[in-house]
Structure 1
Amino acid sequence: MVIVTTIRRDVLTLPAADLGPSNPLPPLLTLDEAHRIDERDREGLPRDMARQIGYEPLHSVLPERIRDGYGRARIPRELDAVVIENDRLRATVLPGLGGRIVSLLHKPTERELLYRNPVVQPACFALNGAWFSGGIEWNIGATGHTTLSCSPLHAARVPAPDGGEMLRLWEWERLRDLPFQVDLWLPDGSDFLYVGVRVRNPHERPAPVYWWSNIAVPEERRVLAPADEAWHFGYERRLRRIPVPSYDDADRTYPLNSHFPADFFYEVPDGQRRWIAAVDEAGDALVQTSTDLLRGRKLFVWGSGPGGRRWQEWLTEPGTGGYCEIQAGLARTQLEHVRLEAESEFSWLEAYGPLTVGAEAAHGEDWAAARAEAESRLEDVLPRRDVDAAYAAWLPHADTDPGEVLAVGSGWGALEVLRSAHKLPGTPFEESTLGEAQAPWLELLRTGAFPEPRRVGPPGETLVAPHWRDMLETAPAVPLAEYHLGVAQWHAGDSAQAVRSWERALELAPSLWPLLRCLAVADAQAGNRERAADRYVEAFDDLCRERRDSGEVWTAATTALGREAVEALLAVRRTRQARSVWERLGSGTRARGRFRLIEAQLLLAEGDVSAARAVFDEGFEVADLREGAEVMSQVWARLTDDPLPARYEFRMRPPTD
């Protein structure tokens, strides 16, 4: 009996950590991004790659906020899910967590095709912090994991090309100010999940676009792709062209044959079918293929070294299997951004499904034969022409208005549509989605004035796009408008004007600490670390006087500002003042792993090495440890010559002199 394809709501219960509040301080500086290359490697790159690597790299994550309020205490939580199912496949999607496909089950074989993480544990891998591993994620914005990793998307039913239904996910991506959509459907009887993607630029100027679909699969696989060369990128930030499959005396198509975490961006020749597959020892595989616009293919490995293994444990439950990622993107590498012309769009189709290949050929020493075996079997079960035909059939449906709403995302898209009157068929951003965060900006749009807050509290998010900056510049110069204008000017690269806006606001502002903190960041960036420290002390004192309660919002502000103040004071060796700030933090804040590490650094600065060592010996976990960060090993090396304990071993590259 053929089961008609269905889409239904469901609830997935998983052990999950609370995401907590976002950091209320505007991210004037980007998080330390590991995906940059040594300037020496730019010479000799293909011309288009070099151009795209230099094309509008990200300098901050404004207007987003940093999400660092999570911990590592996991309890069972009910997560809203949408299930798409036919008689062959069942896909489980979490619209509230970036539209992640957390499971793709092949029903005839009862085989999970993805790496399915048994927990949801945020870690600091997204451009704005919180991210979790597993499944298939949709990365849009800029080099790195999307800021939407742990954010809700809009979701609804839409008619599919075959007359059934598909699930549409859509949102307004704020880093590049672009709307996008992801349409998922399962034709009846199909072994492949089809995914239609569209990124639109409704503006009158070109925009840089970044897209990578990341697919987590168990790491005990061989990864096959149609390439004889790859661009290798490790956390030592070097990009080099290497042969595939073997490099430096090891077959790197097996993830555990690398010692350190690394990216392998495959050089897929023009005209070659785009695909990538992860094959187990029996010849069973997950394969991803697409229309030709989605050019890039990549393998990410954690490697077999202690740092990679520790990260694997960190992202899931101890004792569960590890994973690697096979990926597909718009460019050769994730270091690049692609130009999307004004009032135009990118669209393509992807397909995900099971593949059975001859194990002897797939795992043999003859790389050409292994590739040919996988590509031949793929052509048998899903011909290239069928993918192109499915794309052509889907594209007219991309504009179809959604039906039943299954989940609601943010109100930022609705605000942009109201401002610009953009016509975006297929992805409605309804006024009903506007909320408290958008309210002051809606008033600025309608009245030309930015409202002063009705109650005392940390300032809300700042919109930094040129059109909003223009509105702020012509708005009455009340303190809060000047604060937001300064943030927007800083984002635009006009740091001198930003400082003037913040200084003007200080004269009349009832709340000084947000402005003083911005000025402290500006001082530090200008090399005036002593004045930055002074302003951090003033800002923290003012916040402590103004703070109204011990609720989540005020605690998040005190935690964030206190951390920055202590670090700024330690940088200029003002340990007594750093200790004063530390002691005014709440006991719950001081007990967090991040602040236990800061405590060890403070004790070291005070000359108490044994007490600092005791902090490490007692044990702590820095929940928001950044991808590629080496602070744990650096502090440990100042304490002792003993080997770094395994629990603190997160290094992702070889030691440097």
Structure 2
Amino acid sequence: MATTVRRAVLNLPAAPLGPENPLPVLRAPADAHTLDERSREGLPRDMARQIGYEPLRSLLPVRLRDGYRRHRQESAFEAVVLENAHLRVTVLPGLGGRVHSLVHVPTGRELLYRNPVFQPANFALNGAWFSGGIEWNFGATGHTTLSCAPLHAALVPAPDGGVMVRLWEWERLRDLPFQVDLWLPEDSAFLYVGVRVRNPHERPAPVYWWSNIAVPEDPGTRVLAPADEAWHFGYERSLRRIPVPRWEDQDRTYPLRSEYPADFFYEVPEGARPWIASLDAGGRGLVQTSTARLRGRKLFVWGSGEGGRRWQEWLTEPGTGGYAEIQAGLARTQLEHVRLEAGAEFSWLEAYGPLTADPEPVHGPDWPAARRAAEEALAAALPAERVDEAYEAWRGCADTEPGERLAAGSGWGALEVLCGGFHLPGTPFEEAGLGEAQAPWLELWRTGVFPAPRRVAPPGPSLVAPHWRDMLETAPADPLTEYHLGVAQWHAGDVAQAVRSWERGLKLAPSRWPLLRCLAVADALAGDTARAAQRYAEAFEDLAEESRGGELWTAAESALGREAMTALLAAGRLPAARAVWDRLRPALREEGRFRLLAARLLAAEGHAGAARRVFEDGFELADLREGEEILSEVWSRITHRPLPATYDFRMRPPT
């Protein structure tokens, strides 16, 4: 059977993504995967250096995606299917280029964990993320901001004379373009994936990449990799070297033998072939291997505890089998970023396919024999030299210009390429792709003036790179320009100048709430909770007076209302917090985050019984953050009863 590539439609029960949060993300990302300087002591020098290299200061210029809910209905997603006699690969260009499914055609066996629903949850750096399949995590530590975003996609001639699918986009946290080329040679039982990250700038850039593969798990599932040691990272935020496979009297290569969620970053010896496999009780499963550039390998487990099980239900639906994640990255751990020099690029090739190994040694007590059985099966199925040869063949096609277009990504890459004059063969970011969001920035670049909006609306996205900040500094200083300039200065770490810009804009601003909210965040981070609370109260009052109908205004009220109530509760301003609650649209009061705020407000007002009834009546916190413990914290303030299982998302042992 010759390899075919076709368009398709994938129908899934899906929760809507909803609108972006229109408030600029001024706080540092709430990432559980961080280590302070003291915790880095004693680590290998290169690892410690890369852990401390260019962590994110903020998520700017990216916006949060927190408008999703948990009510699902049947929905259609555009898909691209690659198929030959061995594999059928389903790709979703509109959702970060996710490989949704990888089916072994002769047996009909799904090699990945295929999520039967589309349910966003708060796991990506910018919020919305969903589980399952193979995800391309690029940008900074965590799940990519492109998890639920469209990528550009097109057909390109493959190295073997067939056709491959190219995905590409401009990653905005690090201001770097990347491409992912997927192809299935006619006689291959392995999907090849060529990846390239380029730095077109005149400065070095920090790079993060982890290919994240969700695989089915059950008590007989074992994950194997070429390592005798691993770095364990749990939600207690400690990184320690442990032996593989047994640690603390359990064989941790079986995902369900850990109680709590955790990362195991395998210490793959230098010069060893990099690979990782997940095999069931019969020795069958998926293997991933690559060229040497992609050196890291990792196992993530949800564990067998109540919190991990609850998270798995939350991300799909009750009754669905669980999953673990096997991953491959540029560094040894996901806490690290790798330096990419100016004008340089990283590239590598990955291969994904079925693996069958003798189950007796694979599941035996002799770890070297288990690894050897899997490694020999991989060598027979896909020799290492064939991967290297495929990489060299792909490199000759990496610059080929795309042909038939399958999907369109954002217009941000087109704006950066146009303004920067970059030449990026193989990944065209064409001026025709510019859209409404880029229009005012294009006018700023062409005329030196940031245009006034044609209608009253919350401010559009801010851009923060140095060249945009320079343009804003020389543009006429109207309130909207001062607002965007302050955001860019804030991102650069110039807090005092940012505050001055926002204060200047406030004097003449017809719409005061966006500037007041920025100043409130600055006050809160400076430790002035009283002034922050006052500015939040004023900002929400101004927004409530100005707000109109429509999705964007509702999103602004929701975002600012949540921040304002939280700040007012922290400052003990209970009447003001109640005033914000009273001005909310009735539909917003039914959202999970506001139900929780209602419980907190009632408890602070001395109505513990009423606060408990909010929990007893039931609500769902759609945007509950990975590792966030707010539900258990609030519950413990209002009652000594055990936390109901439906609210138990705890990801670490009790302290």
Normalising by structure 2, what TM-score?
A: 0.99
- Counterpart in the other structure of 1:66: 64
- Counterpart in the other structure of 1:241: 241
Matches within 5 A, 1:203-242: 203-220=201-218, 221-242=221-242
Partners of 1:38 and 1:411 in 2: CA distance: 37
**Superposition RMSD on alpha carbons, in Å?**
0.6
- Counterpart in the other structure of 1:446: 446
- Counterpart in the other structure of 1:617: 616
Partners of 1:542 and 1:592 in 2: CA distance: 22
Partners of 1:16 and 1:63 in 2: CA distance: 28
Q: Partner amino acid for 2:529? A: R
Partners of 2:152 and 2:449 in 1: CA distance: 30
1:82-119 deviation digits (Å, cap 9, x = unpaired): 00111110000000000000100000111100000000
Matches within 5 A, 1:403-552: 403-549=403-549, 551-552=550-551
Partners of 2:137 and 2:323 in 1: CA distance: 18
**Paired residues of 1:274 and 1:290 also in contact (CA < 8 A):** yes
- Counterpart in the other structure of 2:260: 260
Partners of 2:518 and 2:573 in 1: CA distance: 20
Partners of 1:134 and 1:161 in 2: CA distance: 29
Partners of 2:557 and 2:364 in 1: CA distance: 58
- Tell whether 2:559 aligns with 1:576: no
Normalising by structure 1, what TM-score?
A: 0.99
- Counterpart in the other structure of 2:94: 96
- Counterpart in the other structure of 1:201: 199
Q: Once the 2 structures are TM-superposed, how far is the Cα of residue 74 of structure 1 from its aligned partner?
A: 0.5
Q: Partner amino acid for 1:445? A: W
- Counterpart in the other structure of 1:561: 560
- Counterpart in the other structure of 2:364: 364
Query: In 2 relative to 1, CA 145–507 (structure 1 residues): closer, same or farther, beyond 3 Å?
Result: same
Partners of 1:345 and 1:597 in 2: CA distance: 46
Partners of 1:612 and 1:508 in 2: CA distance: 42
**Paired residues of 1:41 and 1:240 also in contact (CA < 8 A):** no
**Paired residues of 1:15 and 1:120 also in contact (CA < 8 A):** yes
1:134 paired residue among 114, 132, 135: 132
1:482-541 deviation digits (Å, cap 9, x = unpaired): 100000000010000000000111111111100000000000111111011111111111
- Counterpart in the other structure of 1:655: 654
**Paired residues of 2:29 and 2:56 also in contact (CA < 8 A):** no
1:613-644 deviation digits (Å, cap 9, x = unpaired): 00011011000000000000000101111110
- Counterpart in the other structure of 1:317: 317
SS at match of 1:60: coil
Partners of 2:547 and 2:643 in 1: CA distance: 40
Greater displacement, 34-43 / 497-506? 34-43
Matches within 5 A, 1:44-83: 44-83=42-81
Matches within 5 A, 1:102-113: 102-113=100-111
Partners of 2:96 and 2:259 in 1: CA distance: 31
Partners of 1:348 and 1:307 in 2: CA distance: 37
Partners of 1:346 and 1:40 in 2: CA distance: 31
Q: Partner amino acid for 1:182? A: V
- Counterpart in the other structure of 1:86: 84
Q: Partner amino acid for 1:419? A: C
SS at match of 1:360: helix
Matches within 5 A, 1:387-402: 387-402=387-402
**Paired residues of 1:412 and 1:434 also in contact (CA < 8 A):** yes
Partners of 1:249 and 1:538 in 2: CA distance: 57
Partners of 2:554 and 2:640 in 1: CA distance: 37
Q: Once the 2 structures are TM-superposed, how far is the Cα of residue 30 of structure 1 from its aligned partner?
A: 2.9
Q: Partner amino acid for 2:385? A: R
Partners of 1:275 and 1:71 in 2: CA distance: 37
Partners of 1:468 and 1:331 in 2: CA distance: 31
**Paired residues of 1:23 and 1:65 also in contact (CA < 8 A):** yes
**Paired residues of 1:224 and 1:371 also in contact (CA < 8 A):** yes
SS at match of 1:507: helix
Partners of 1:555 and 1:34 in 2: CA distance: 30
Partners of 1:325 and 1:629 in 2: CA distance: 21
- Counterpart in the other structure of 2:169: 171
Q: Partner amino acid for 2:610? A: A
Partners of 1:441 and 1:65 in 2: CA distance: 16
Q: Once the 2 structures are TM-superposed, how far is the Cα of residue 478 of structure 1 from its aligned partner?
A: 1.3
**Paired residues of 2:588 and 2:594 also in contact (CA < 8 A):** yes
Q: Once the 2 structures are TM-superposed, how far is the Cα of residue 38 of structure 1 from its aligned partner?
A: 4.7
- Counterpart in the other structure of 1:347: 347
- Counterpart in the other structure of 1:608: 607
Gaps in structure 1 of 5+ consecutive residues: none
**Paired residues of 1:38 and 1:238 also in contact (CA < 8 A):** no
SS at match of 2:364: coil
2:4 paired residue among 3, 6, 30: 6
Q: Once the 2 structures are TM-superposed, how far is the Cα of residue 646 of structure 1 from its aligned partner?
A: 0.1
- Counterpart in the other structure of 1:646: 645
Partners of 1:433 and 1:90 in 2: CA distance: 31
Partners of 1:478 and 1:395 in 2: CA distance: 49
Q: Partner amino acid for 1:296? A: G
Partners of 2:654 and 2:312 in 1: CA distance: 20
Partners of 2:496 and 2:243 in 1: CA distance: 48
Partners of 1:391 and 1:118 in 2: CA distance: 33
- Counterpart in the other structure of 1:627: 626
Q: Partner amino acid for 1:374? A: A
Q: Once the 2 structures are TM-superposed, how far is the Cα of residue 335 of structure 1 from its aligned partner?
A: 0.1
Partners of 2:30 and 2:137 in 1: CA distance: 18
Q: Partner amino acid for 1:23? A: N
1:436-485 deviation digits (Å, cap 9, x = unpaired): 00000000111111001111110000011111111111111111111000
**Paired residues of 1:295 and 1:331 also in contact (CA < 8 A):** yes
**Paired residues of 1:516 and 1:535 also in contact (CA < 8 A):** yes
**Paired residues of 2:201 and 2:342 also in contact (CA < 8 A):** yes
Gaps in structure 2 of 5+ consecutive residues: none
Q: Once the 2 structures are TM-superposed, how far is the Cα of residue 544 of structure 1 from its aligned partner?
A: 1.1
Partners of 1:81 and 1:4 in 2: CA distance: 20
SS at match of 1:103: strand
Q: Partner amino acid for 1:78? A: A
- Counterpart in the other structure of 2:178: 180
- Tell whether 2:156 aligns with 1:158: yes
SS at match of 1:538: helix
Q: Once the 2 structures are TM-superposed, how far is the Cα of residue 651 of structure 1 from its aligned partner?
A: 0.4
Q: Partner amino acid for 1:56? A: E
- Counterpart in the other structure of 1:276: 276
**Paired residues of 2:517 and 2:536 also in contact (CA < 8 A):** yes
Partners of 1:231 and 1:372 in 2: CA distance: 22
Partners of 2:42 and 2:535 in 1: CA distance: 46
Partners of 1:263 and 1:422 in 2: CA distance: 38
Matched residues, number: 653
Partners of 1:241 and 1:137 in 2: CA distance: 27
Partners of 2:281 and 2:85 in 1: CA distance: 26
1:243-297 deviation digits (Å, cap 9, x = unpaired): 0000000000000000000000000000000000000000102000000000100
**Paired residues of 1:38 and 1:237 also in contact (CA < 8 A):** no
Partners of 2:28 and 2:8 in 1: CA distance: 37
Q: Partner amino acid for 1:98? A: G
Identity among equivalent pairs (%): 75
